Every structure is written in structure tokens, then in C-alpha cells.
Structure 1
Amino acid sequence: MSCKMRIEHLKQSICNGNEEIAKNSELLSKSKRYNQDLYIRSQRHQEKKEKIQRRNHKLSAVVEKRNKDLKSRHAELASLRRSHILELTSVIFPLGEVRNVTRDPADVSFENDNAMTSSTVSKLAEARRTTYLSGRWVCDDHNGDTSISIAGPWITLPNNGDYSAYYNWVEEKKTTPGPEMEYNNPAYTISAALCYATQLVNTLSHILNVNLPRKLYNSEFCGENLNRWKFNRAVNKLNSNILYLCFSQHVDLDLLHPLHTLRNLMYLVSPDSENLGRSGPFEISADLEDSMEFVDPSGAGESDESGGEHISDEETDLGTDWENLPSPKFCDIPSQPLEMQESESTMMSQPIASSSAGGMISSAAASVTSWFKAYTGHR
């Protein structure tokens, strides 16, 4: 009896083992099929990866070629701009340095006062060659010793940016008019030089494709005699535009000065400038921009010279990319006061009948009032 039971148990164990083997075989086949699918998918992904890599390689080659073409075109454009600018400044607007034959005031004072020591003379000479720039005193080797000519040696500007002879002549002409004042007129030379400089700057901005930050017409200095405030304001615009062009062409900042109008132009259009005609982004020096306060007419001179003159919208500088729009005319919206009285049990509101919005507010207030009355009535 025990042998038959053992045999039955062995048969049952064999059956269970066969079932377990069948299940494991089925799981193994499923795993093989899943692995096969994963392998096929990995092959497809590998093909896609290789295809993407080949495409990226082709695109990088195309981009590199386009960049080379762009750089070559920029170089050609810069060379063409450079040739046009050099031709412009050599034929139409030649710029040159003219040495002023003047004696140093320190030397004159030394001859007049024999008691003056050599140290005092040297200090006076050093003071003449210093300028207050960006919150500090800096050495200025070109402080009144030379002039810069434009469009001819007879049209010059003081190198140190001192244009006081212009408005001094204008004020003197107002007090003592006469024909002699027309002949001995330094304002004509200064206004002519500034007019030519304005024309040159506007032409350079067109050639270099640079939008100037200040709007300045070519005829700004050609019209009637400007008072001190208007003149300083126009010179401030011109100097700002020149500095902006110098920044765009990567002129050495150590060479620039916010008051040296034509000298900054000389550095800009110099044949030795390697970046003349370039294109691309550039940075603006905040120190030089802040130093424009020397010719900023917004100081105390504005109230004295402007005489309460009105500045039109066309004179307001908002940049060349802005459009001046007329001021909107606002009309008074009629409204009716809302009277509310609060008490322990009632709240009354007077609706606003002037607009649809007022009607909505009044209806909401009436709803709240009725609800509040019903609530207090139940209590």
C-alpha cells in the first residue's frame, strides 16, 4: 500500500515538474521574443541616431560654410564702406590738424611778472592741459593748442571744444549791431564747421548703417543765430552721435573725449583704424556718455538762455525708431455720487445711472441690500 502511494506521489511530482517546465519554457520564449523586439527597436534607433548624426554633420558643414560666406561678405562690405568713407573724407570733407600760432599764457605771464616762480608757471601750464572728465581730472595734451579743420583749412573748430566765441559773438551782436560785426564773425566759421560735421556724421551713419541716438538735421547750424542754450543742446547732440559712431566702429576709448568734436571724427575715419566699416554688436561706454554733462544744457544756463521757450515734439529725442504720437484728449466721464448710509439693520445705496458699468454695480448693491434686509427681518 505504501509503495502505490509513493508511486502516485512520484507521478504527481513529475506532472507538477512538467507543468513548471512548460511555464518556464513559455516565459523563456516570451522573454526571447521581447528581447528580439528590443534588439530590433535598438537597431532602428541606432539607424535614426546615425541618420541624425549625418544630418547634423551636414548642417554643421552648411552652417560653417554660411558663416564663412557671411564673414567674407562682411569683410567685402567693410572694405567697400571703408573705401567710400576714405574717399568722402579725402575729397568732400577732408579733416586735418591746424597748429595755432599762439603763445602759452604761462610764458606771457612769466614775462610780465618777473617775480613769478618757475613752479607757478609749470602749474599754470599743467592746469591748461587738464580736463575734468568722468568725475576726475585727466591730462589733455590737445587743450587749445591746435584746431581741427574740415572741408578746408580755413574752416576750423577749437580742439578743446570751447565754442564760447560763437554765443559771445551772438550776444555782442545784440548789444552792438553793425557791419563790422558781420566781417569779424567767428560764429560763421564755427557754425560752418559744425554744419559740415553734422552732414558728415549723417552721411557716415548712412554708409555704416548705424541708427544715431539723437536726431540732428543738417541745417541745424545753418539757420539763424542760436542762443547759448540751443547751441549747446545742438552741440551735445552732435557729440553724442559722433561718440555713438565711434563705439560702433570699436575706436579706442582712450583716444576719445566727449568735447573733442572733430578730433573724435578724425579717429573714427582714420585710415589706420582696423575696424572702420565693421558690422555687428558693440558696447557703449557709460563713462563717456556721463561726461556729456559738460555741454548738457539742462543746467543753470537753461533758465537764463532759453527764456521760457517751448520745446516742440520734433526737438524731443526719443530715438530714431520711435514715432511721435499726438497727446490723447481725455474727456470727463459723468458720474453720480453714491450715497450709502449704514445702520444696524439697513443699508441703502443709490445706483449710478451714467453707464452700463454703473448699472451693474447698482444692481449688485440692490441684491446685497435685499438679502441683508431679509436676513435682519428673520432675526
Structure 2
Amino acid sequence: MVESVDEVEGLYVAVERCPLCTTSRRRLTCARCIQAGDFVFFDGRNSERYSEKWGRLQKLEEEKERLQQSVLRVMGRRIQADEMKWKIMLFKKKRDQLKEAVAWGNEEVKSYRELLLRSQEETQRLQRRAGRHQEKRDKIDRHNRRLVELLERRSREQHNKLSQLAALRRDHIQELITHIFHMQEEKQSSRDLSDVTEVDLALTSSTVTELAEARRTTYLSGRWIWDDQNGETSISITGTPVVLPSNGDCSAYYSWVEEKSTSSGPELDHINPAHTISAALCYATQLVTILSHILDVNLPKRLCNSEFCGENLNRHRFTRSLNKLNTNILHLCFSQHVNSEKLHPHHTLRNIMFLVSLDNNNLGRTGSFEVSSDLEESIEFVEPEASGLTEESGDESVTDEETDLGTDWETVPSPRFCDIPSQSTTISWTQKT
């Protein structure tokens, strides 16, 4: 449109719009003036030309830009100042927090120092206490060593005293056995060989050997033992007339008593089985009582020394008293560690001989011992007959529990059952028998 205006100057189209106000009016200015900005309002309200306004606008924009830059510079310093203030405030807060932390740390350090001081004091106190305890321990160790040495010395002294006591007991027992209660094994009269040959003519030699061997064995405590004293030998005590069968068979006593009770004739022979066996058992009872005193051993059964030397005893009372005596003898043998293989529950005097034998090195010992229950259980009481029970008096019906001393260490035997017979009593009894 500008070119058309340049070529045909002065020709205008009525529908052209003003580039300034965008209205369709008749053209009053030329295109060059418009391009140059040399035009004003036609109504005269502002005489300033467009080019002047444009120039002033450029100046204002430049001034605005300059002001903006200056404002930005000023605001930048303000922003920096504010940022610095914020930083300072933050640093102050951090400083206060650090001060609080330092103060809290100082308090903690102070408390820890106090705790450390208390711990050091406690450690020193415990160290002093440990030192005292160590001294006490050393003192106790020294005391214990002295006690151990004293105990060893006293043990040696006790062992020596017990050895001396055992030797003294053996001497006293040997004197007792040698001078008062002398015991000796004697052979009984056997049948003539010709009689044996005539009676056993029908038996072969092997049968005779087997029978002889069977006679020399006894079934005891669940086993067969060799017993070569089946009535072929006897043992005397205090002299030849006072003897007991070596196998402990005292049936001749109550057989003679029963036979004597049935016959009313006078007693002409004073040396009879009843007197011989009762005298031997009476001496054995006295010997066992004296041995229990010498060896300081409490007997399990209470038995009076005169039990067998009074009136004739019936079968029940005699068997019960004899079993008590055998029990006491076995108890003494166990206390002196006599070999149980040698003992027999019914061999009264033979067990005593094993007890006081010179081969028994344990004779006179003191201390604990074990009791063989098998041997004690083998002592069986013979049941009395009905007639025997009716003939017993009040004293004879005393139960075994009433006459047992027991094996408890606190048991003290009654003096009337443990009196050692005097020499006059022994002599008078010897003269009587």
C-alpha cells in the first residue's frame, strides 16, 4: 500500500484504514509522514508529534531500564544485607545452641568426673578390701596348712595308738585264751576199720568216696562249703571234759534233757552231754562277753553269762540262746575282719578259734565293718513243739526283740549283762563242773 501511495500520490481509497487509529477515514496525511511519524491529532488535543512521543518513549524506557538497574543494584545490596542478617541470626541461634550444648556437656563432664571420682574411690576401697581379703585368705591358707599338718600328725599318732591298742588287745586276748579259756581241737573215737569193712562190704570204693565227701560238705547260704568237722572232732574249752562238737551239733543236750524228764531215776553220772555242753556254752558266753569288752564292740544280742549254767533248758529256749550266742560270735568275727569263707553260723567254738587265732592280723582293730547278712540269716531258730510252749515260764517267753541290744552306736549295754566274771566265780564254776 505504501508503494501504491508512492507511485500515485494524491489518490486515496475511502476504505483505507488508518494505521494509527485503525479507523476508516479519508486520508489526510501521506504515507511518508506516517512512516516518519510526522503527524498529530487532528482534534488538537495534543500538539506533540508521533515521532516526538516515540523519542520520549524511548527515553522513558531507557530511564526505566536505568532505574530498574539501579533499583536492582540497590535491592541486591538489600537482599544481601537481609541474607546476611538471616545468616547472622542463624549463626546466633547455632551459637546459642552450641553454648547450651557446651553447658550441657560441661554438666555431663562434671557429673562423669564426679562419677569417676566415686568409682575411683570405690575401686580404691575395693582394692584395700581385696588386699585385706587376700591377707585373710593367706592367713586361712596358712591355718589350713597347719590344720592339715596337725591332722596328718594326729592321724599318724592315732594310727600308732590304734596299733598299740590292737597289739595290747591281742596280748590280753592271748593271755586270756592261754591261761583261762584254753581251746583245743580233739579227735573223737572212730569206728574200727574192720567194722567199716564188714558193714560197707557191698559198697564200691567210689561210692564210699562219694559218701565220705558228701559227709564233709554243708549247704550254706545258697552254696556248698567244705566242712571236714561233721562230728569227727570236738573242741574243748578250759579243759578236756568241757567239749563241744566241732560242727556245732548240740542236739545231744536237749535229747538228754528230754530223756531225763521222762525217767524218774536219780542222776548217777555227772559227766553227761547236758552238763558238758552247757558248761562249754557257759564258758563260751563268758569268753564272748570279755572279748566284746576288750575289743570295745557292742554285741547285737543280749545274753546273760549264766544262761546255760542254770536249770536244764527246754529245746526252744536252748536253741534260741545258742543262736544268740552264735550271732554275737559272728558279729565279733565281722568286727575283726575274719575271713567269711572260714566262718560257719553253727560252729560256735571254731568261729571263736578263728577270731583269736594268731593268723588273724586284724585282731584288736577299731573301726567300721560290714556284716555278712547271708551268714546271719543262716542262723535258723528251731520251732518248739506245742508241749514245749506250754511248759515255758514267764521268764522263758521273753521275745528276742526284748533281749536285742541292736547295732546302733548309741546303744549302751546293761551292766547286769556285761559284767566280767571275777576270778573266784570262774574257779568256783570250774570246781562245780
TM-score (norm 1): 0.76
How far residue 127 of structure 1 moved from its aligned partner, in angstroms, is: 2.2
Whole-Å separation in 2 of the counterparts to 1:184 and 1:198: 20
Whole-Å separation in 1 of the counterparts to 2:413 and 2:119: 72
Q: Deviations 1:293-313 (Å, cap 9, x if unpaired)?
A: 1xx13x2x3434333524538
Runs of 4+ in 1 over 6 A off after TM superposition: none
Which secondary structure does the structure 1 equivalent of 2:94 belong to? Answer: helix
2:260 to 145, 148, 173: 173
Whole-Å separation in 1 of the counterparts to 2:246 and 2:264: 29
- Identity rate of aligned residues, in percent? 52
Residue 129 (structure 2) pairs with residue 41 (structure 1) = yes
Whole-Å separation in 1 of the counterparts to 2:157 and 2:164: 10
Q: 1:247 to 1:111 in 2, by over 3 A?
A: same
2:205 to 111, 115, 118: 118
How far residue 173 of structure 1 moved from its aligned partner, in angstroms, is: 2.0
Which secondary structure does the structure 1 equivalent of 2:169 belong to? Answer: helix
Whole-Å separation in 1 of the counterparts to 2:135 and 2:312: 79
What do you get for the CA RMSD once the two structures are aligned?
A: 2.7
Whole-Å separation in 2 of the counterparts to 1:156 and 1:194: 9
- The 5-angstrom pairing of residues 122-271 of structure 1 reads 122-178=209-265, 181-183=268-270, 185-271=272-358
Partner of 2:102: 17
Whole-Å separation in 2 of the counterparts to 1:262 and 1:323: 24
Residue 386 (structure 2) pairs with residue 303 (structure 1) = yes
2:138 to 44, 47, 50: 50
How far residue 323 of structure 1 moved from its aligned partner, in angstroms, is: 9.4
How far residue 265 of structure 1 moved from its aligned partner, in angstroms, is: 0.3
8 A contact 2:295–2:364 mirrored in 1: yes
Partner of 2:39: none
Partner of 2:405: 319
Partner of 2:28: none
Unaligned 5+ runs, structure 1: 325-379
8 A contact 2:298–2:413 mirrored in 1: no
Residue 375 (structure 2) pairs with residue 288 (structure 1) = yes
Q: 1:251 to 1:132 in 2, by over 3 A?
A: same
2:191 to 103, 128, 131: 103
How far residue 94 of structure 1 moved from its aligned partner, in angstroms, is: 0.8
Which secondary structure does the structure 2 equivalent of 1:292 belong to? Answer: coil
8 A contact 1:230–1:306 mirrored in 2: no
Count of residues in correspondence between the two structures: 319
Which secondary structure does the structure 2 equivalent of 1:138 belong to? Answer: strand
Q: Deviations 1:314-361 (Å, cap 9, x if unpaired)?
A: 66323174899xxxxxxxxxxxxxxxxxxxxxxxxxxxxxxxxxxxxx
Q: 1:76 to 1:104 in 2, by over 3 A?
A: farther
Unaligned 5+ runs, structure 2: 1-84, 415-433
How far residue 138 of structure 1 moved from its aligned partner, in angstroms, is: 2.6
Q: 1:266 to 1:132 in 2, by over 3 A?
A: same
Which secondary structure does the structure 2 equivalent of 1:306 belong to? Answer: helix
Q: Deviations 1:193-247 (Å, cap 9, x if unpaired)?
A: 1111111111111111111111212211111122222211221111111111111
How far residue 177 of structure 1 moved from its aligned partner, in angstroms, is: 4.3
Whole-Å separation in 1 of the counterparts to 2:323 and 2:137: 60
Which secondary structure does the structure 2 equivalent of 1:253 belong to? Answer: coil
8 A contact 1:173–1:181 mirrored in 2: no
Whole-Å separation in 2 of the counterparts to 1:54 and 1:104: 80
Partner of 2:423: none
Q: Deviations 1:153-204 (Å, cap 9, x if unpaired)?
A: 3321100111122122222223334456524512221111111111111111
Task: Report the more deviating stretch, 157-166 or 23-32.
Answer: 23-32
Which secondary structure does the structure 1 equivalent of 2:403 belong to? Answer: coil
- The 5-angstrom pairing of residues 352-363 of structure 1 reads none
Which secondary structure does the structure 2 equivalent of 1:154 belong to? Answer: coil
Q: 1:271 to 1:129 in 2, by over 3 A?
A: same
TM-score (norm 2): 0.67
Which secondary structure does the structure 1 equivalent of 2:234 belong to? Answer: strand
